Amino acid sequence: KPSDFLSWQLMGVLVDEVPPDREGALVIADKALENSIEIAEHRFLLTAMAVITASGSGQHDKVEKYLKSSKNLQELLVAVLEAHAAELTGKVEEARTKLQGLSQAQLELSAREVRRFAAAVAERIGMLEFALRLRRSLLPVAQFTKDTGLFLSCATKCGKDVDVLDECSRLRKQGV
């Protein structure tokens, strides 16, 4: 059976084609999700990509199907997926409610990919403080990464100039 990570990557390639091959990506998602994906974070990423792809092609019945198939994931992962699906369909308040119901501590202990995804959803729906806390948990010790840039951008949007200056100072002290 193909690995779930490779399926996720292949879906990304098909969706990024010009024009996007969303149908091909959804066929891969269906086949991959039929298999038992053992690593919860991988199943989460694959389901998230399927939700995005189905929503982008207007197949809301498939969005619901993917969300139902995610019910065997941890409650936290399901809530993040449901918040994302609500955001995609313009139900911003529902998305906010889903994310507000999550424990920040539980989220901060989840895999980096999950935190990164939840922070992006939170930022897009205006939950900037929530997103900032998650982005802070992704900061590397002594290097400038994409996560660092996303943290600085989110802190700027929140008006947290002190956080921006502190992070820049910390990086300078590390020789970055």
- Residue that the structure tokens 């994906």 belong to: 37
Give CA–CA dist 141/35, Å, rounded.
37
Phi, psi dihedrals of residue 5, rounded to the nearest 5°: -65, -45
The string of pLDDT tens digits covering residues 62-90 is 888 888 877 767 888 888 999 999 998 89
pTM of the predicted structure, to 2 decimals: 0.75
pLDDT for the residue numbered 3: 61
The residue among 130 and 37 whose pLDDT is bigger is: 130
Contact call for residues 53 and 66 (beta carbons, < 8 A): no
Asked whether residue 119 carries a pLDDT value surpassing 80, the answer given is yes
> Average pLDDT of the chain?
86
Give CA–CA dist 44/94, Å, rounded.
20
Give CA–CA dist 38/107, Å, rounded.
20
Mean pLDDT of 118-132: 94
Number of helical H runs and strand E runs in the chain: 11, 0
Residue 63 structure tokens:
């969005």
Residue 29 structure tokens:
């998602």
